[in-house]
Chain A
Amino acid sequence: MSADLSELYQQVILDHNRRPRNRGKLPTANRVAHGDNPTCGDQCNVYLRVDGDRIAEISFDGSGCAISQASASLMTTQLKGKTAIEAVKLYDEFHHIVTTGETPEDISDLAAFAGVHTFPARIKCATLGWHAALNALKGDEAPSTTESHID
């Protein structure tokens, strides 16, 4: 396997792809958003329970490639407990990582996605869940039963 490819499919990513964290609907969600990548058919729903201005709980479901699924999974572990402003800041950092390959020292597991930058077609896969999460944060308060939003 080439260096670029093993950079892309890091152990952290493979692990989140095989054993996604916080996967499934969130029964107590009060925000939900759907993300679509029309070129490849990848889909991602992000469910949030926002408490005051903090993300108290977060989950995701959907289908897509290893990069998009692992990214959404890892994102849920990073966004829990964050405020909207902190979430946007973290996304900006993540976006910088996947587009440039540069990794700030204090960024933890998100750095695993640095390899994406050599595969420009895959950047959208890595950011799909993040877009959905930020949209959910911006969105209006939704009823806590979320089925009707995605079915």
Chain B
Amino acid sequence: MLDSKKIRSDFPILHQQINGHPLVYLDNGATSQKPRAVIDALVRYYERDNSNVHRGLHALSMRATDGYEGARTRIAKFINAADPAEIIFTRGTTESINLVARSWAHAHLKSGDVILTTEMEHHSNLVPWQQAAKAAGATVRYIPVLGTDAEGGLDLAALDTLLTPQVKLFAFTHISNTLGTINPAAELCRRARAVGAITVIDAAQSIGHAPLDVRALGCDFLAFSGHKMCGPTGIGVLYGRQALLDKLAPDETGGGMVVNVTYESATWKPTPERHEAGTPHVAGAIGLAAACDYLDTIGREAIAAHDHTLAQLAMEKLSAIPGIRILGPRAGAERAGLVSFAFPDVHAHDIVTFADEDGLALRGGHHCNQPLMRKLGLTSTTRASFYFYNTADEIDLLVTSLRRIQKFFAGT
């Protein structure tokens, strides 16, 4: 495991007391904390380089432009994109997916077409496709999630019947934020390509947790948020193959993305500018590049191994609590660094409120996954999600807290 003592000293926020206890931050699936290096990059930018990009010829504007475009290059390298022009800066995963759903689907989807997705998608990778399908008269099909809480994997056998030539686009999550399932993304992309479908990967939960290579995955589009990988909020990325992005009509229009404007019409710049109308989140992009640097200093292989160790430890210790129901892959099976669970007699919100008393930050609710919750016969679960600054001791604190809560509500 990573040297957590040293790593934790990089994160100012972790050194505080909550309700008289040291903060145990286990809500990384919602957002990660920020290392000093990222905070410093933001401060440095605003204190030294702040200016608008692409427009000015003065020193600050050139510095800001260099910082912003340098960030694009850094992020392209982080996910092994072929060219920095394949990186579109957005507000985050949600905006990235919406961009594809509106621009690509608007131009290409016809009545009778099918969008394929899965039963385990976050609302952000579900509602935009429903909307796109409705607008075009297309339908959305879902790959079932296997079992109830037994496995949490996708029913890949169903792909033979679901992945037909009518499928024009296949959108799926790399890692389920509710189940912890890691989907076989490269295989899914290969299967989609065989029927000529465009692929969109929601990498919100996988980015920054393990090495990620868009060319090895073979996807057409990939979306992620900076804030889940130690970067700032308000910045994210849509990766798209350049050939697709160049053909894609812009979703938003305005300054910065046009070549020639008359009172009658306008022409678009090539990608990436054509998809970034208006002043971008320059500081956010620079902060995100700093996060890439930071994560690569730690090492993404090492981060993945750390996540894995914590997840297995959590599975082992949580499974031993009487009455607990754990979603997703079984103990021992491969899973991402998060565990969702439910107790028959204690609601997730009561758990989260009690755990907060012990300094633990957990998430309770439907995790933006209402249809899946309904399928599993649940209204909410509690989720503990880990990152490389979490420790084995923190999992013990989680288990102790849960046992105490269970006892309290049992009235014993």
Contacts and interface: CB of A to CB of B under 8 A. Distances in A.
B411 A65 contact: no
Interface residues of A, number: 22
B364 A8 contact: no
A125 B349 CA distance: 10
Contacts of B357: 1-2, 5
Interface residues of B, number: 19
A150 interface: no
Contact of A66 (B19, B347, B365, B379): B347
B366 A40 contact: yes
Contacts of B19: 2
A130 B237 CA distance: 43
B380 interface: yes
Contacts of B364: 40
A9 B409 CA distance: 10
A52 interface: no
Chain A at the B interface: SS class: mixed
Nearest to B404: A1
Contact of A40 (B354, B380, B408, B409): B380
A2 B364 CA distance: 21
B353 A41 contact: no
B350 A65 contact: yes
B167 interface: no
Interface in A1-47: 1-2, 5, 8-9, 14, 17-18, 39-43
A67 B365 contact: no
A119 B357 CA distance: 12
Interface of A: 1-2, 5, 8-9, 14, 17-18, 39-43, 63-67, 69, 119, 122, 125
5 contacts: A40-B366, A40-B380, A43-B379, A64-B379, A65-B348
Q: Would you list the 8 A-B pairs with minimal beta carbon distance, nearest first?
A: A65-B349, A65-B347, A41-B366, A41-B379, A63-B379, A66-B350, A40-B365, A41-B380
